[in-house]
Every structure is written in C-alpha cells, then in structure tokens.
Structure 1
Amino acid sequence: MENQVTNNANALRLFFTEDVFLVADKSVKIQPEVQMEPVLEVAANLGSPEVPAIQNTENEQISEKKIPNLVKEYPENAEKAPVAEEPVAEKVFKFLGGNKKSVLILVNDKNNDVSTEQGRELLRKIVKAVELATPDFALLNYASYAGTNFIELHQFFKPQLLLAFGVNTADLNLDLIWQHEIIVHETTRMIFAPELHQLDGDLNAKKSLWGNLKKL
C-alpha cells in the first residue's frame, strides 16, 4: 500500500476544504531554540576592543626600592643659627677736591655747582684763611644729595672737620643745636653757617664764622 502521508500543499487542499483558525494556547510554553543574551552585554561586546593595560615596570621598580627619609629631624631645643644681615651699600658722592686732610665742605645751591660768583669768592677766602688747598678738602653740593645724613657722609668722607654752608644739623639728622660755637661730634669738629651767597652779605654771620675759624 502506498504511503498516504504527503506534504504537498495542492494535495492537502483537496482534503481540508473548511477554514482553519489558529488559537494561541498560553498554557503551553515553547522554549526558543536560540538562547537570548542580555542587550547590555551584547552592546558592551560591540564596543571598542579592550586594550591590554601597559604595565609600568619603572614605577614598580621605584616602589620596590626603599626611598630614604629626606626630612632631617632636629632636637626640640636646637639653637637657630643667627641670620647674617646684608651689608648696606655705601653711597657714592661726586665732589671736588682731594680730601687729603679729611676736611668736608658742604654747600647748598640748587642753581649752581658751588654758589654764585660772590659766594665762590667768599669760599676762596675762607679756604685760604685756614690754609687749605684744593687737594686738602672735599667740596660737596648737598643740594644734589638732599636727605643724606651725617652717618652716610662720615662713612664715605671720614671728615675730621666739617664746614657746612646752608646745611643745618636737622638736615644731617643730628640731634644737636647750633649755637654759633664749634660742635664736636664723635671725632668730627663742625661749624655751621648760612649759604655762601647769603653769608657774603651778612656781616654778623661772617664775624661769627671768622671767630670759629681762628679756634681751629
């Protein structure tokens, strides 16, 4: 007897002439042939390929070595070394003369190198009266160095005699009062007088100056 089983679609239509309805049976669970994987894992697998981590052998070698302790410990009662003070730069002055006899002459004229013609002539007479020549003294116009004190002048010139014309004790930061008499401060004898041009026309001031010059 021939096999009655057939899979031919045309032959099957001859036997099944009625409508056939497919009803889903929810009680029956059919396992999928292919096991589904989580979407997140698939997405992660589709990312850029993992780059193998480069092992830093240099850092490992450093970590393996014992790093010495660079912090130096001091005892609590250790004495601190005194900090040396920076030396103060010595002020430099531009002056006339040679200062061989340590005589400093201060003038104070903003308009002239020394003074007017009358003032310069008076100064020549003063210098001659005390028997000084140009190489013996240092002549400085204080107007070019306003604010300079006696310590700075003494540090540079080391004067044994100071003749100040138009410069007073306050200008030199000296706590002294001029009373028309020679002032001896430390190793320096000092005489103060008006500015040379003014002094030339002040008879009383000139007499006071001549009287002090005779005591030298």
Structure 2
Amino acid sequence: MNNKFGNIELPDFVLVDFFRDNLVIVNDIVGPPNTQVVAASQSMPADTTISPAIKKTSLPVPKKWFLGDNQKHIVILVNDIESVYLRDEWLQFLSNILGACKLNLGDVAIVNHANNSMLFADFQQQLAPKHFILFDVATQQIQLPFTMPFYQLQQFGSTQFLLAPSLALMLGNTDAVKMEKSRLWLSLKKMFNI
C-alpha cells in the first residue's frame, strides 16, 4: 500500500485528545524498561484473558486543566463561564500580547477560574508560578492576603502579580479599549523587563 503521508508521529497530547475517553494503559510488557503501550479500549473484548506477562490497568486519562505548557512558569487566570479554557477571540488577543512579550502558549499556563476555582496555594504546588496575571479574578477569590488595583505589579513571595479587568474589555477599537490595552501593555513591559 502506498502511503502518501509517510510515517507521521503525533505528539502525546494530540493522541490523548483523540482517545480521551477510550484509553487503556498496559504496563509491564516484556521489553525495554519504562515502556508503556497505549491501546484503544474497544480493541479488546471485556472477557479477554490477559497473559501474566501483560497486566491491564484501566487508568483515567488525566484532564488537562490548563492551556499551554507552563515552560516559563507564567500563570494567566481568566474568568470565562462560556468556555473550557477561554473564548477564541480572547485566546487570539492573549497570543498576540504574548508574542509582543516574546512569549508563546508553551511558556504559560492559562487557567479558567470559572471551571477551576483553585486557591493560590494549589497553583504554587502544581505550577510554581513566577508571574501570575489575573483577568477578572480578584485576589481574594484565590485566597491571596492582599488586594491591589488594576495594572499595578505586586510581589508576594517568589511570585509577581498583575491584576487586570476582563479580557472582554480588551477587544475592539474604541478609545476605551485602546486605553485598557495600553495600560496592560505598560504593566507587562515592566513585568517582563521589555
């Protein structure tokens, strides 16, 4: 058979998205150490006997609760009741502003507070943020012991914070929107030493 696509290897996160609800992790396969084989759950009938060399474990696929890879430990907390992570137009705006800061989605972890009402202590433990940007989320909502005005930088422990209004106020071309964008940009320039 002639395959015009060749051998294409997909990244792990794409495979997880394809088979989010139908994965079975098979451990202890004879072969190199630390290997795992992933198979679709429908490929093996429920009454199949598994040889002692192969042990079947049905592990839940972990739900990724943030968007991005958090490579530079920058947490962006948004509040969007209409989306899992955030609306497409908000993501486009954030991608543009991150690009202007010489960052990308791989550098950050975008968390939707509407779907993940975690506390700052949880963020510290799981994402170790160096920078924390809150859009339309008050510091009290994540149990921080301080308040701050919009666009002011605040250091707390090893994390620098920036509080901003909703991303919805950053969309459009009115004078008020331009003012919000410029205030955000000035704060981000200070935060990332641009």
Q: State the TM bucket, normalised to the shorter chain.
A: 0.5 to 0.7
Report the counterpart of residue 22 of structure 1 in structure 2: none
Report the counterpart of residue 139 of structure 1 in structure 2: 110
Aligned partner letter, 1:171: Q
Q: Is the 8 A contact 1:120 1:196 kept in 2?
A: no
Q: Is the 8 A contact 1:115 1:197 kept in 2?
A: no
| Partner Cα separation in structure 2 for residue 93 and residue 156 of structure 1 | 12
Evaluate the alpha carbon distance shift between residue 160 and residue 205 of structure 1 in structure 2; reply closer, same or farther with a 3 A threshold. Answer: same
Q: Which of 108, 129, 134 matches 1:164?
A: 134
> The residue matched to 1:155 in structure 2 has which SS?
helix
Aligned residues: 124
Q: Is the 8 A contact 2:65 2:116 kept in 1?
A: no
Aligned partner letter, 1:165: F
Task: State the Cα distance separating 1:199 from its structure 2 match.
Answer: 2.9
Identity %: 29
TM-score (norm 1): 0.53
Give per-residue Cα distances to partners, 1:45-74, cap 9 Å, x unaligned: xxxxxxxxxxxxxxxxxxxxxxxxxxxxxx
Q: Which of 175, 178, 183 matches 1:208?
A: 183
Q: Which of 1 and 2 has greater Rg?
A: 1
Q: Which of 199, 207, 210 matches 2:170?
A: 199
Task: State the Cα distance separating 1:93 from its structure 2 match.
Answer: 6.0
Give per-residue Cα distances to partners, 1:67-97, cap 9 Å, x unaligned: xxxxxxxxxxxxxxxxxxxxxxxxx861111
Task: State the Cα distance separating 1:103 from its structure 2 match.
Answer: 0.9
Q: Is the 8 A contact 1:116 1:197 kept in 2?
A: no
Aligned partner letter, 1:161: H
Q: Which of 183, 208, 211 matches 2:154?
A: 183
Runs of 5+ unmatched residues, structure 1: 1-91
Report the counterpart of residue 121 of structure 1 in structure 2: 92
- TM alignment of 1:26-175, pairs within 5 A: 94-146=65-117, 148-175=118-145
Show structure 1 runs of 4+ deviating over 4 A. none
Q: Is the 8 A contact 1:105 1:162 kept in 2?
A: yes
